[in-house]
Structure 1
Amino acid sequence: GAYAVVKEEHVGSGLFNGLGLPAPRLALNAVGGVSSLNLAKTLANGADSTMVTFGGLSKQPVMVPTPKHIFGGINSTGFFLNQWLTDSSKDEVDSTFQELTDMGRAGVLKAPQAQYIPYARGSGMADALLAVREGE
């Protein structure tokens, strides 16, 4: 349930900061390096905020600002699907995929409607993002 999905190069820009959206509590990191640093900076403070790293495309270490860990209390964890599949019993894997399938059939888990809006100054993007925020 994201309000908006933001490309990394726009994180922290005045346009997105001015929308008044709540700080995210989940960051999905496939890159590592500076990208992970930027993602971690956006997370809301609190133990219920987590950055999950599932890839390392930059081949650089995951970076999290020290104040976010110490004072913000955010979590950072890794997930390796192949290892999870190896370590889990067949019943656990089947049960997990069945649960995801059931959630999809019940409409709880669904692909969001998406519209790509290229960013260009004066292109009306601010209006489009405000519409997203207001659920239009």
Structure 2
Amino acid sequence: MPSPAAALPAPVRNGTVAWALGFLAYIPVPFLGLIVAGVVQLVVGLGQRKHGGLAAVNGVRAANWGLTQLCWPVLMVITIVLGVATGSPGESGGVHLTPVMRGVTTTLFGLFFLVCVLEAIYAIVGTVLASKGRRVWLPVIPFLRTPRS
């Protein structure tokens, strides 16, 4: 009698898990969810490289998207620090940003919310395409290269 484990088919390795973990961005803690999703997609996506083929391609693309997401919180922190350093103290204890820093800060916060919307789109599209056995070619910053097979 064959063992039950022998009857199970081998798992399909296509990088779906790396894209599906993008939904962690919607942990109901502002900013933290996007950071967690970026880190997890980076780590799991890079882990997909050991499987080779489609899993490696889709995993590295998900890892690149995770790194792209992580750029925004870093840029926001740098911008806020520069804004506070160059601003002037307010009467009620706050900081008045210079007009240039106010514009830069507003633009970065707007782009951050755009990244949040893109995360939903990328998580859905990436998960669906990878689960169908297709390559995910969503536009991301190519920090990492797919290993050659």
Question: Which structure shows the bigger proportion of residues in strand conformation?
Answer: 1
TM norm structure 2: 0.29
Question: Which structure shows the bigger proportion of residues in helix conformation?
Answer: 2
TM norm structure 1: 0.31
Larger radius of gyration: 2
Task: Tell which has more relative contact order, 1 or 2 (C-alpha 8 A, sep 6+).
Answer: 2
